[in-house]
Amino acid sequence: MTLTALGVVELRRLRRGETAPLQAVFDAMSPDARAQRYFTGMPRLPTPVLDALADVDGERHVALLASVDDRPVGVARYVVVAPGVAEIALEVADAFQGLGIGTRLVDALTTHAAAHGIRRVRATVLPGNEPSRRLVTRIGVQLSMVKGLLEGEGPLLRRDLQAAGKSLG
């Protein structure tokens, strides 16, 4: 848990099949923020996509949920794509962007990933998504333009989430 000006930010693992928090974060994102995250405008999160995002197993697909006052406000995830390599993704509700929640989520996610054998990370970002560009670059992803998207991979540069003081369970 971390104290912010908005209250206490609690991080925990998303449980398999837990769709309500994912839907809540999606619903709290503007059409532009949704397009930045999913690379296309989506007025709603299609059921097959929602089900796939909730199909976490704690090993090959890990998702962390950030909540403020029991309100879901962000999700960070990784999916193992090769031995020791994971693709990461992040989304934060509009009202909570720019407050460090994305950074806390990524720090906790990369700490967890490193503890579970992940040594390299991949990411894909839209060129105009400067906050995500900064976050993924900070953890070791070296981005380059590929067919209109910024894509990259690099060695995982872990930053421990010292404020948490415990492992996420």
- Residue 105 sits in a domain of what CATH number? 3.40.630.30
Helix (H, G, I), strand (E, B) or coil at 60: coil
The two three-digit tokens of residue 76, written as one number: 């960070």
163 domain-assigned: no
Structural domain of residue 100, as residue ranges?
2-155
Q: What is the pLDDT at residue 148?
A: 93
Q: What is the pLDDT at residue 169?
A: 44
Query: How many domains is the chain partitioned into structurally?
Result: 1
166 domain-assigned: no
Residue with tokens 């720019």: 98
Q: What is the pLDDT at residue 6?
A: 67
161 domain-assigned: no
Q: What is the pLDDT at residue 160?
A: 54
Q: Which parts of the chain have pLDDT scores under 70?
A: 1-6, 158-169
pLDDT digits (tens, 9 = 90+) for 25-41: 999 999 999 998 998 88
117 domain-assigned: yes
